[in-house]
Chains A and B, each alone.
Chain A
Amino acid sequence: MVVCVYLPRFELVIAAGGPEALAGRALAIAPLPGGESRVGGVSGAAEAFGVQAGMALGEALARCPELGLVAADPLGVARAWEAVARALEGIGAALELDRPGLAYFEADGLRGLYGGEEGVIAAAREAVRAAGRASIGVGRAARVGAGPTRFCALAAALDAGSRRAVIVDGKGARRYLASQPVELLCFRSETAALVEPLRRLGVRTLGELRELSPGRPDAVADRFGEAGVLAHRLAGGADTPLSTRRVEDRLEVSLELGEPGSGQALERVLGVLVDRLLARPERRGRTLRAASLSARLVEGGTWQERVVFRQALSDSRRMRLALSLRLALLPAPAEGLRLAVERFGPPDGEQGTLLRSARTARLASLREAVSQVRTVAGPEAALRALCVDPDSRVPERRVVFTPFPG
């Protein structure tokens, strides 16, 4: 059983300073300075005027002249979301984080600890509320749902209230999904683009989508390609397994600038931050595989960039070089800079041999490449095909994909 925890309008709630700020007000996240002129998340009152996330700013203001714009706060969102994720991991959940405000975990291994699915859901709800209390009360609006797959759990969470969870059992999943609107597909990046054409075709529910080609996704595949097949499978109650994140130590350093800084001044501050981060005893000699660089902007709001290093490293000069390139992307002068470790690499005490054979060098390069790919694209990014039963009469039993050892 998969549990979905959904915090509606999470990014807007953080940017606006709390859920109370949204009550009855038409608000939207302003476009980033220098970025594309489109609004981010919008409040319910703004939606009532026809304003939607991703809409051009001019159109949004034309539809709702009293629309209030709040500066985006990716740093605050990342912090608050990390606090929620840590709280959920604190109850023993292995999380798949979809986007800020949306997380999934398998409840099967936790049933014994909490006395069944209801107990697991209650523990998750309490953990999110506790994490929310520590920040600005984001946890109060948490909706929790459970179902046999990720997609079904999401539908259940959207149906749930802030006090009542919805649990869909395995047998009733297909019937439950059949009554859900096709807009549910917007929550998956692979299928989001299908929603508009499906609406134009008069397909309103996932059940109607299934009926386009009952039992077989051929007709949907002909019209919508791979995304159509996936949508058809999701509507039929099938989904891929969860891809959970690895829990890492949190290590970060920050520095407030006396006055707004940019250019060389910021590069010097970055150098100080890198040195401080590398000097922290909690690093325990480990190298850094990925880091996030964030800033509080003078114009309001925050900015954040994730940097995956080409090699796991602990060399101050090379880190500074890689990170300073990202400083050029800052949309406005900054008041404060923060550097955090996202993923650690192996300890830096490992030394290469004096005479390394070409094969060893190739293997080391391959391991490094696999590690980089996994850091960027997830643990399933590097697989190898392994012949397990090459003489089997059943073709799909001959070769399997297994994680690439690296």
Chain B
Amino acid sequence: MSASRALNLPRPARVRAGSEGAPGMVDGRAVESVRESWLVEDRWWTDEPLRRRYWEVVDVRGRNLVVFHDLRSGGWFIQAA
């Protein structure tokens, strides 16, 4: 039987960021408001440090979404926080 595997892994998202780095569009839908933003830096003592800027936003449909910008790879991801 296989070993444990992580739940709630980030999924790639299509995000168009505004001038200040905040997401303006997520997966083709405009962002209505940004509720919160926070930075996560972890595992800086390893070869694979983790640096993410999280954004909690509300899209035009009223859905609450949490996306993050991977500051190392430059990609955007969606994840339930």
Contact = CB atoms under 8 A, between A and B. Distances in A.
Contact of A217 (B9, B12, B81): B12
Interface string B33-53: 000000010100000001000
Interface residues of B, number: 20
Interface residues on A, range: 20 to 34
Nearest to A403: B1
Nearest to A378: B1
Interface in B61-81: 75, 79-81
Interface of B: prevailing SS: loop
B18 to A, nearest CB: 19
A393 interface: yes
Contacts of A397: 6
Nearest to B12: A216
Nearest to A242: B2
Given A216-B12, A216-B75, A218-B14, A394 B4 contact: no
Interface stretch (A49-57, A137-145, A340-348, A379-387): A379-387
A228 to B, nearest CB: 13
Interface string B9-46: 11011100000000000010000000000001010000
B79 A400 contact: no
A393 B40 contact: yes
A394 B50 contact: yes
A216 B5 CA distance: 22
Interface of B: 1-2, 4-10, 12-14, 27, 40, 42, 50, 75, 79-81
17 contacts: A218-B12, A218-B14, A218-B27, A241-B2, A243-B2, A380-B2, A393-B40, A393-B42, A394-B40, A395-B10, A395-B80, A396-B7, A396-B8, A399-B6, A401-B5, A401-B6, A403-B1
